[in-house]
Chains A and B, each alone.
Chain A
Amino acid sequence: MTRRIVGPFNRVEGDLEVTLDIDAGQVAAAYVNSPLYRGFEQILQGKLPADALVLVPRICGICSVAQSAAAALALADAAGIAPPANGRLSANLTLAAENMADHFTHFYLFFMPDFARAEYKSRRWHHGAAERFRATVGTAVNEVLPGRARFMQAMGLLAGKWPHTLAVQPGGSTRPLQSSEVFRLHRIVREFRAFLESVTFGARLEVIAAISSRGELESWAASGQGGDLRSFLAIAADLDLWRLGRGTDRYMSYGCYDEGGRRLFPAGVWHGAPCALDAALIDEDTSHAWYAATGQAQPPAEGSTLPVAEKEGAYSWCKAPRLGGQVVETGALARQMVAGHPLARDMVARDGGSVAARVVARLLELALVLPAMERWLGELVPGEPWCITAGLADETSGTGLVEAARGSLGHWLTVRRGRIHNYQIIAPTTWNFSPRDSGGQPGALEQALAGLPADPAAPLPAAIHHVVRSFDPCMVCTVH
């Protein structure tokens, strides 16, 4: 057995290091380490509750609005208020704009460039993939960044700027839109649709959204030409990315995009079959993380964050969240498994969760959410209220659960004497990249890496990079 410490994994948001125990040409065990600690939960203690809206988006430059949305929901829950219809729609649009931009950024800037690696030189698709997807110089990045920047103009209108807005408030949005601004937003969303349909998919979004099985996906790909999704599917078939990087196959989603009484994607858990989510079963274990021992796993509302420099058995700044003691995976695939999208369910039924299934689920969400954004824009009513205000009691608490692009994000707030007494955050990658818990149960990525081919000395196979990045990790959120 050889132990190998590998890092930094870049093209993930933030810092990541993995320790691999390699035996007989395989990963026998993986230990995932988040090597950066900033202490937002400590920073927030003693602050005025509303100031969380300035602080928490700055946990993360890529999930900034998701962090704002979770804080706004926690504060709204604590105040017992809900935004008026325009405020709710604006919150959906702002979160959707970030989530869609993140899916798009992940595919083109973080994930696909790995196929340009010299390791794949002998593959027949390598030349094309390198020309198209190579980091910073490929044809794709120079085409998609202006397309992305145009789409992010939606943030200029909805939220003033991105990242780090204060427009997302517990009572709605600070940014009332008038009819000509709604029209300009509509043009931005329509242009992004056109971009996706011509460049990413080579098909109408509705065609992609209606694909109901992997078989249908593959025959759709074979029946036409063009679009970067087709290039990915060809690579995925050749490298068998459908059977790479299986995790726990237990999925969780908090649900997102409030459509007035129902959510576009519902909350729930899927493990062989759908079941309800009981958020009271969530706790965090710190047995393998550099935090003061808590005895046993704590529910986040009662959680604490006290870093310690040295601790026996600890190897990460990331805590280990568990749902009823179980490891769950979160993200686009999880959301679509819980929502019951037939393509997601079929992909997992055939070969389990995989690198390919995670990537396809993300692109599928682009096809599902853009049309919803068009619909929400049509439901805005300029002149009707956008924001309500309500005071916050001096002694109160609240919970905010949302879905960031990369999975489930929760904020748990307790207010005492008008100040933040405790503020605990569990981010998507805290779930996916958690260390072991006190029972020795590895986190989702740790499970997905076990069994992969690896050599004690040779460069790490690209497959490991694909598995790591298939989760779309955000390490700055993970530890915060």
Chain B
Amino acid sequence: MNLLWLQSGGCGGCTLSWLGSEQGPLFRLLADEGIEILWHPSLSEACLDDARELIARCADGRESVDVLCVEGSLLRGPRGSGGFHRFGGGARPMIDWIKQIAGRAKHVVAIGSCSAWGGITAAGMNPTDACGLQYDGEMAGGLLGPEFRDPSGLPVINVAGCPPHPDWMTETLAALAHGRLGAAQLDDYGRPRFYADQLVHHGCPRNEYYEFKASAQKHSDQGCLMEHLGCAGTQAHADCNQRLWNGEGSCLRGGYACIRCTEPGFEEPGHAFETTPKVAGIPIGLPADMPKAWFIALAALSKSATPARVRENATADHQLRAPSVKRNKK
């Protein structure tokens, strides 16, 4: 299975995340899974005319593309011209190249939240009219339109995340190479379910603080970040606290909120990213699938039952009180 990787209105961070793969040498892994990189802008030797020639061959069908990976938002501006990003060495806008190659590729994969939904580049006034391949925020559409399907009937596969975990990318590509990725393996937003059917909350090391609503008040506190510091981990689809990042990391393990970067529209939460919006003291964003009344009742109950150890440690940057040691009486 060959793979063509193109970048547009993004930061290149998905590729950099990928290079942090901890499954052994990345390029050997890909070769071993039967994946051949036709061209990647950061990694391949071919440049200039050689690269342009290859891209032209992919676009007109002289070279067949099994998987087109797109990293970065699709920039439709200014005024629909696509002029905010031309592919170097020519006058043609990148969105035209991508549209043409996507129409021929066997599969199209959006690498990261920019090419999935628009992402950070679409934040604020969205100066470049950025969108995703098949979504514009939560709305189906984007560059390729809601009806787009690859020759096997799949929509754009959205490996969303800002950036995605290296294994989300590798595992998706390997599943495609082995013919194991069908519509049943994608969620409602076209994300591979192997990571999107989890919540960031699952495996969060602050779990005990969450249970007792023992909340961090400020940065570097050890408590739960949901009540005050903007954490959306109970609503965000991803397995970040089960499949850890760069060894033993995750946003929560790094001490800061999950900003739901795998979700469409995450770039405009409607409130300060690191502050939880509340109505009458109750966070607006409640955990996925949790009835509101029960959440409020349980929160009140668990707050009143919080052990002193958990309460005190929650607002400190190191353990003030260790779990007590029980001795069996003889």
A residues touching B (Cβ–Cβ < 8 Å)? 5-11, 13-17, 33, 35-39, 42-48, 50-51, 53-55, 58-62, 64, 105, 109-110, 113-114, 116-117, 134-137, 141-143, 145-146, 148-149, 152-167, 169, 171-176, 178, 184, 188, 307, 309, 382-383, 385-387, 389, 459-460, 465, 476
Of B47, B128, B245, the residue contacting A38 (CB under 8 A) is: B128
Q: How far, in angstroms, from A38 to B11 measured CA to CA in the complex?
A: 10
Q: How far, in angstroms, from A78 to B49 measured CA to CA in the complex?
A: 48
Cβ of B162 under 8 Å from chain A:
yes
Q: Name which residue of chain A comes closest to B218, CB basis.
A: A389
Q: How far, in angstroms, from A12 to B197 measured CA to CA in the complex?
A: 36
Least CB distance from B85 to A in Å reads: 5
Contacting pair A155 B246 (CB below 8 A)? yes
Contacting pair B220 A176 (CB below 8 A)? yes
Contacting pair A7 B244 (CB below 8 A)? no
B residues touching A (Cβ–Cβ < 8 Å)? 7-17, 19-22, 24-28, 37, 41-49, 51-52, 73, 75, 78-79, 81, 83-90, 120-121, 123-128, 130, 162-163, 218-220, 222, 244-257, 259, 261, 272-274, 317-319
Q: How far, in angstroms, from A134 to B44 measured CA to CA in the complex?
A: 9
Q: How far, in angstroms, from A39 to B85 measured CA to CA in the complex?
A: 12
Contacting pair B219 A174 (CB below 8 A)? yes
Residues of A within 8 A of B130 (CB): 38
Contacting pair B272 A48 (CB below 8 A)? yes
Of B8, B25, B86, B219, the residue contacting A143 (CB under 8 A) is: B25
Contacting pair B254 A165 (CB below 8 A)? yes
Residues of B within 8 A of A38 (CB): 9, 73, 75, 84, 121, 127-128, 130
Contacting pair A167 B27 (CB below 8 A)? no
Q: Name which residue of chain B comes closest to A118, CB basis.
A: B45
Contacting pair B255 A60 (CB below 8 A)? no
Residues of A within 8 A of B8 (CB): 36
Least CB distance from B296 to A in Å reads: 28
Contacting pair B85 A35 (CB below 8 A)? yes
Contacting pair B255 A167 (CB below 8 A)? yes
Q: How far, in angstroms, from A24 to B115 measured CA to CA in the complex?
A: 45
Of B52, B124, B250, B317, the residue contacting A42 (CB under 8 A) is: B124
Q: Name which residue of chain B comes closest to A43, CB basis.
A: B124
Residues of A within 8 A of B256 (CB): 160, 165-167, 174
Number of A-B contacts (CB under 8 A): 280
Of B42, B47, B123, B255, the residue contacting A160 (CB under 8 A) is: B255
A–B pairs, 19, beta carbons within 8 Å: A8-B47, A9-B48, A11-B43, A15-B87, A37-B85, A42-B125, A61-B15, A105-B19, A148-B20, A162-B17, A165-B254, A171-B219, A178-B318, A309-B78, A382-B318, A385-B220, A385-B317, A386-B220, A476-B11
Residues of A within 8 A of B246 (CB): 149, 152-156, 161-162
Q: Name which residue of chain A comes closest to B16, CB basis.
A: A61
- Taking A35-B88, A51-B273, A465-B47 as given, write out 7 further A-B residue pairs in contact, using a Cβ cutoff of 8 Å, ordered by the A residue number: A10-B41, A14-B12, A38-B73, A163-B11, A164-B162, A175-B255, A389-B219
Least CB distance from B69 to A in Å reads: 15
Residues of A within 8 A of B126 (CB): 43
Most central of B15, B42, B162 by chain A CB within 10 Å: B42
Residues of B within 8 A of A59 (CB): 11
Q: Does more than half of chain B's interface fall in helix, strand or loop, or is it mixed?
A: loop
Least CB distance from B245 to A in Å reads: 4
Most central of B19, B120, B246 by chain A CB within 10 Å: B246
Contacting pair B88 A15 (CB below 8 A)? yes
Q: Name which residue of chain A comes closest to B130, CB basis.
A: A38
Residues of B within 8 A of A166 (CB): 251, 254, 256-257, 259, 273-274
Contacting pair B123 A55 (CB below 8 A)? yes
Contacting pair B79 A153 (CB below 8 A)? no
Least CB distance from B300 to A in Å reads: 27
Residues of A within 8 A of B48 (CB): 6-9, 459-460
Contacting pair B47 A11 (CB below 8 A)? yes
Residues of B within 8 A of A160 (CB): 245, 249-256
Q: How far, in angstroms, from A309 to B79 measured CA to CA in the complex?
A: 9
Least CB distance from B72 to A in Å reads: 9
Q: How far, in angstroms, from A146 to B19 measured CA to CA in the complex?
A: 9
Contacting pair B43 A50 (CB below 8 A)? no
Residues of A within 8 A of B86 (CB): 17, 35
Contacting pair B220 A172 (CB below 8 A)? yes
Residues of A within 8 A of B88 (CB): 7-9, 15-17, 33, 35
Residues of A within 8 A of B222 (CB): 176
Most central of B28, B84, B126, B222 by chain A CB within 10 Å: B84
Taking A43-B127, A51-B273, A309-B78 as contacts, is the C-beta distance between A145 and B26 under 8 angstroms?
Answer: yes
Q: How far, in angstroms, from A109 to B41 measured CA to CA in the complex?
A: 12
Q: How far, in angstroms, from A55 to B261 measured CA to CA in the complex?
A: 12
Least CB distance from B11 to A in Å reads: 4
Least CB distance from A180 to B in Å reads: 11
| Closest 10 pairs (CB-CB, A-B) | A160-B254, A61-B13, A7-B88, A156-B249, A153-B247, A8-B88, A174-B255, A7-B89, A156-B246, A39-B127
Contacting pair A148 B19 (CB below 8 A)? yes
Contacting pair A8 B51 (CB below 8 A)? yes
Contacting pair B128 A156 (CB below 8 A)? no
Residues of B within 8 A of A145 (CB): 19, 21, 25-27
Q: Name which residue of chain B comes closest to A33, CB basis.
A: B88
Residues of B within 8 A of A14 (CB): 7, 12
Least CB distance from A249 to B in Å reads: 28
Residues of A within 8 A of B128 (CB): 37-39
Most central of A6, A55, A161, A163 by chain B CB within 10 Å: A161
